[in-house]
Amino acid sequence: MISFLLRRLLSSLPVALIVLATCFLLVRLAPGSPFTSERALDPATRQMLESKFGLGGSLPQQLMLYLHNVLQGDLGESLKFRGRTVVEIIQQSLPRSLLLGSISFVLALAVGIPLGAFAAARQGGGTGRWLNGFALLTLSIPTFVLAPVAVLFFSFGIPLFPPAGWGTPSQLVLPALCLALPFVGVCARLTRSGLLETIGTDFVRTARAKGVSEPSLIFLHALRPALLPLVAYAGPLAASILTGSLVIEEIFAVPGVGQFFVSGVINRDVFLVSGVVLIYCLLLLLFNLIADWLAALLDPRIRMET
Amino acid sequence: MTLCRGIPGLTGLTLALSFLSACQTRPRADLVICNGAEPQTLDPALVSGQLEGRLCSALYEGLTRRDSRGRPVPGSAERWEVSQDGKTYTFHLRPNLHWSNGDPLTSADFRFSWLRALDPKTASPYSEILFGISGAKEFQSGKSKAESVRIETPDPLTLVVHLDHPTPYFPSLTSFTTYLPVHRATVEKYGDRWTQPETWVGNGTYRLMDWKINDRVSLEKNPRYHTPDRVRLSRIDALAVSRASTAFNLYSSGQADLLLDKGLIPALILPHLRGRPDFHPGPLLATYFYRFNVTRPPFQDVRIRRAFALAIDKESIVEKITRGNEPVAQTLTPRGIPGYRPPEGLPSDPSTAQGLLRMAGYPEGHGFPRVSLLYNKSELNEQIAVEIQAQWKRVLGVEVELRNQEWATYLRSLDDLDFDIARSSWVGDYDDPNTFLDCFVTGRGNNRTGWSDPTYDSLLNRALSEPNLSQRLNLLAEAESILVTQAFPIVPIYHFVGCLMFDPDKWDGLYPNLLDEHPFSEIGRVQK
């Protein structure tokens, strides 16, 4: 177990470095400079800025300098938000995305799994079809439609929650629900299909023959192996939901890290983009590792070898 | 199994923890403003955007400041004199000036701040606004030392500034962000990080209380300001919200009291807001225009540029697309600059446009090479480009290809003159036509058309050294006439309007004005 974790962690390091280097090169190769604006900057000033931020040499030199700094724990300074280090920006904004994301993640699982289980238990009946339809609906509505509609109904129609902002618990409700809802559908459908497959297996048939009640059969016997596809999906889901959603953060003015993905690329703020990508990459690797570990816990046939 | 049983517990725990962590709330500020995107900096020497400039006007005070109607009034300087030749200004500072940390503020602070903005090491994007000071340009370009910049401080309360040319608007220029003073000891001690709330020092009506990234900048009344009683509100929060619909939702639900920018009002609902008592439109010193690349065919030919300019029906653009009561622009400089009468400009004239194209060898557009119109990706730019593309097709019979690029790529294309026609806009920095016309002097970084005209350059040069104010403005009008009625390196399309949203029964001290200046210190609750 420990050697499995160590092996995986060690193999993650080169992956993270390759991702970081690729991201750095892509942003630097894109046309445009982080220092241009609608007001022209004289070439001498631009050159001064480039050398100040370590972007003056050739591209390989810039990359080597950057990777060298990163390995020493220095992710650099933002090129647009002057005087702010990338670490500082991530330190301030990531916890907000993590808070919102963890609520949405738990909500997605807490609602999606029972929903899928009931849909599987009521397979073929009216309730099952309704539950399945609901899951499909939540899955199909994009967040940029869902969020404004939620604001319209719950902030202006029935003024229950504020339409945007950050700092009070009530301001968390709408963004958390809107972020969670599409994933509720995915979790429900994965649980349902996993369960339907498991229900047909021999051990479930045996349990049923022994007279185990239907709810116990579903929730105590069949659900555990049926969750395997969901666990595999939950790793990348957790990484993406926790690092913030650009759309949700923008619509609800959540000061999270998601917006820096896009604004960083638009501004060619290479250190900021690379820093945010690195965090996303590390979270993705971590949650995939957790997902693999959970999968082995759920199904003893899966061995922790790779 | 354990996992399944644990789900409700885990859910409850996460929700409870989240609730608790989100409970660290603060009392609402006296005034909450939607200020646009996250400020890039609060260092006046590095600021180039309007939203940062707004905050800096509250955090620092220049020799002059702008009042709520945009007029320059005495700020840190209580009075000033100008020499007979109009080239030497002597500013007298108020005797009781202090920084927010209690240190005395002297004329040496202004000298240090201006030299710092000019220092090439600072890489100030707006240093050229100080170039009127004798020796400033040479110092910025590294040709001379700081001592050669002619700013003198004979005593702690007197600042003498020598200019290259008579500049009647110089006192008002000293209210501009780049001219604001910074606290030397703090800047030298903390370097780039001096603008963080824990280290920041300023001399404005407000001090920096908190700055949460992408969330808000919190300002608190500065008790060490020279006339603190003038400041009406104790605490102001400026929210970082860039999405128009979100800002408008915050305003509509009462979470924000004031929208300070037209960009924060969704364009679709603008026509429905007219007539509402909380909607306050006003003129703005800014123009939307198209540039021609005059360095390559077919726009090397002035007849073709003129034909393209005259074929545009600007009325239909402001009526159908922008819909914010924008005035159609026949000139680059908007109306309203004190004492300046822009030239008449040329209205839309399809038949003349067709004639010009025929004379240039392309009757009804036959044989006209395929050209493209470049714009940066935005819904408004696209709608305008599509409309103008259709007008050129209808009037001139020419096909124009639309080419959109994202922001940084678009700026690169402008700098490299890699376009035929390109969308642009310009916001004036001070209320003088020079802020617009100087862009098109030969070789200026903001020219971005390749256009050069010795007569235009010479008129602007003569205007620079002309001591008579009305004669100076006439020379500038003559230069502008070349730009928009003879040479056509650009086609002005419309002048922007500014829009404020606030409830006039609750708030006063806010007046739409050409420079879009709304000093926070003058905003207050209506006394009933």
Q: What is the DSSP string of B483-525?
A: IIIII-SEEEEEEEEEEEE--TTTEES----TT----GGG-EE
Pick the range with the lowest mean pLDDT from B102-111, B225-234, B336-345. Answer: B336-345
| pLDDT class of A132 with cuts at 50, 70, 90 | confident
pLDDT value at B24 more than 90: no
Residues of A in contact with B56 (CB under 8 A): none
Torsion of CA B368, B321, B246, B502, to 10 degrees: 140
- Mean predicted confidence (pLDDT) in A133-142: 83
Number of other CB atoms surrounding residue A60 within 10 Å: 9
Q: Which of B18, B25, B448 lies at the smallest CB-CB distance from A102?
A: B18
Give the mutation candidate from A27, A29, A42 for the B interface (greatest B CB count, under 10 A).
A42
> What are the pLDDT digits (tens) for B244-278?
899 999 999 999 999 988 788 887 888 888 889 99
The answer to whether the Cβ–Cβ distance between B412 and A33 falls below 8 Å is yes
Say how far apart CA A128 and CA B191 lie, in whole Å: 64
What pLDDT, on a 0 to 100 scale, did the predictor assign at position B8? Answer: 55
B27 touches chain A (CB under 8 A): no
A130-136 contacts at long range (C-beta below 8 A, 24 or more positions apart): A131/A188, A132/A189, A132/A192, A134/A185, A134/A188, A135/A184, A135/A185, A135/A188, A135/A189, A135/A192, A136/A185, A136/A189
Closest CA to A13 of A303, A306, A281, A291: A281
pLDDT value at A241 more than 70: yes
| pLDDT class of A234 with cuts at 50, 70, 90 | confident
E runs forming strands in B173-306: 206-212, 216-221, 235-239, 258-259, 279-292
> What 3-state class would DSSP assign to B431?
coil
A189 DSSP β-pair partners: none
A93 touches chain B (CB under 8 A): yes
E runs forming strands in B262-385: 279-292, 371-376
> What 3-state class would DSSP assign to B245?
helix
Radius of gyration over every alpha carbon of chain B, rounded to an integer in angstroms: 26
- Mean predicted confidence (pLDDT) in B218-238: 95
Cα distances (Å, whole numbers) of residue A202 to A117, A198, A299? 19, 9, 16
Radius of gyration over every alpha carbon of chain A, rounded to an integer in angstroms: 24
What pLDDT, on a 0 to 100 scale, did the predictor assign at position B20? Answer: 53
Residues of A in contact with B415 (CB under 8 A): 36, 40
Which letter does DSSP use for residue B28 in this model? P
Name the CATH topology of B66-183: Dipeptide-binding Protein; domain 1 (3.90.76)
Cα distances (Å, whole numbers) of residue B322 to B333, B361, B452? 19, 35, 32
- Mean predicted confidence (pLDDT) in B399-419: 89
> What are the pLDDT digits (tens) for B453-477?
999 999 998 988 887 888 899 999 9
Sequence-ordered alpha helix ranges (H) in B319-453: 350-359, 379-396, 407-415, 434-437
What pLDDT, on a 0 to 100 scale, did the predictor assign at position B23? Answer: 47
ipTM: 0.84
Say how far apart CA A118 and CA B75 lie, in whole Å: 71
The answer to whether the Cβ–Cβ distance between B3 and A159 falls below 8 Å is no
Share of chain B above pLDDT 70, in %: 95
Residue A146 half-sphere exposure toward CB, CA atoms < 13 A: 19
- Mean predicted confidence (pLDDT) in A52-74: 90
Name the CATH topology of B1-60+204-278+502-528: D-Maltodextrin-Binding Protein; domain 2 (3.40.190)
B349-354 contacts at long range (C-beta below 8 A, 24 or more positions apart): B349/B310, B350/B310, B350/B311, B350/B395, B352/B307, B352/B310, B353/B306, B353/B307, B353/B308, B353/B309, B353/B310, B353/B311, B353/B395, B353/B396, B354/B307, B354/B311, B354/B395, B354/B396
B194 touches chain A (CB under 8 A): yes
Tokens 């970081």, located at residue: A20
Say how far apart CA A273 and CA B45 lie, in whole Å: 26
- Mean predicted confidence (pLDDT) in B436-441: 92
| pLDDT class of A283 with cuts at 50, 70, 90 | confident
- Mean predicted confidence (pLDDT) in A215-244: 79
A77 touches chain B (CB under 8 A): yes
A55 touches chain B (CB under 8 A): no
What pLDDT, on a 0 to 100 scale, did the predictor assign at position B1? Answer: 41
Kindly tell me the sign of the dihedral angle through the C-alpha atoms of A258, A263, A268, A271: negative
Q: Does domain B286-497 have CATH number 3.10.105.10?
A: yes
Tokens 């098109």, located at residue: B440
Query: How far is A162 from chain B, CA to nearest CA, in Å?
Result: 7
Q: Under a CB-based contact definition with an 8 Å cutoff, are residues A167 and B22 in contact?
A: yes
| pLDDT class of B2 with cuts at 50, 70, 90 | very low
B526: which residues sit within 8 A by CB, 6+ positions away? Answer: B504, B505, B506, B507, B508
- Mean predicted confidence (pLDDT) in A1-19: 83
A157 touches chain B (CB under 8 A): no
Pick the range with the lowest mean pLDDT from A126-130, A262-266, B381-385. Answer: A126-130
In terms of Cβ atoms closer than 10 Å to its own Cβ (0-12, 13-18, 19+), residue A68 is exposed
- Mean predicted confidence (pLDDT) in A124-142: 79
Q: Where are the domains of chain B?
A: 1-60+204-278+502-528, 66-183, 286-497
What pLDDT, on a 0 to 100 scale, did the predictor assign at position A60? Answer: 92
Average pLDDT, chain B: 90
Residues of A in contact with B438 (CB under 8 A): none
pLDDT value at B520 more than 90: yes
The answer to whether the Cβ–Cβ distance between A82 and B7 falls below 8 Å is no
B238 DSSP β-pair partners: B33, B217
The answer to whether the Cβ–Cβ distance between B253 and A155 falls below 8 Å is yes
A272 touches chain B (CB under 8 A): no
Length of chain A: 306
Pick the range with the lowest mean pLDDT from A135-144, B33-42, B76-85. Answer: A135-144
- Residue A139 tokens read as 């899955």
What pLDDT, on a 0 to 100 scale, did the predictor assign at position A302? Answer: 67
B425 touches chain A (CB under 8 A): yes
What pLDDT, on a 0 to 100 scale, did the predictor assign at position B19? Answer: 53
Share of chain B above pLDDT 90, in %: 65
What pLDDT, on a 0 to 100 scale, did the predictor assign at position B179? Answer: 96
Amino acid at B131: F
Say how far apart CA B502 and CA B507 lie, in whole Å: 7
The answer to whether the Cβ–Cβ distance between A39 and B21 falls below 8 Å is no
B501 DSSP β-pair partners: B259, B279
Pick the range with the lowest mean pLDDT from A48-57, B297-306, B345-354, B411-420. Answer: A48-57
What pLDDT, on a 0 to 100 scale, did the predictor assign at position A303? Answer: 61
What pLDDT, on a 0 to 100 scale, did the predictor assign at position A306? Answer: 47
Pairing of strands B158-162, B206-212: unpaired
Closest CA to B278 of B259, B262, B263, B261: B259
- Count chain A–chain B contacts defined by CB atoms under 8 A: 179
Residue A101 half-sphere exposure toward CB, CA atoms < 13 A: 24
What pLDDT, on a 0 to 100 scale, did the predictor assign at position A116? Answer: 85
Helices A2-29, A270-298: crossing angle, 10 deg rounding: 150
- Mean predicted confidence (pLDDT) in A10-18: 88
A69-94 as b/e, with b when 16 or more CB fall inside 10 Å? ebeeeebbbbbbbbbbbbebbbebbb
Closest CA to A276 of A93, A150, A102, A143: A93
Say how far apart CA A33 and CA A42 lie, in whole Å: 13
- Mean predicted confidence (pLDDT) in B50-79: 93
Number of other CB atoms surrounding residue A300 within 10 Å: 7
- Mean predicted confidence (pLDDT) in B133-151: 91
Amino acid at B504: P
Length of chain B: 528
What pLDDT, on a 0 to 100 scale, did the predictor assign at position A148? Answer: 92
Say how far apart CA A172 and CA B20 lie, in whole Å: 12
B255 touches chain A (CB under 8 A): yes
Q: Under a CB-based contact definition with an 8 Å cutoff, are residues B387 and B290 in contact?
A: no
Residues of B in contact with A82 (CB under 8 A): 40-41, 43, 46, 192
| pLDDT class of B3 with cuts at 50, 70, 90 | very low
Is the overall model pTM greater than 0.95, yes or no? no
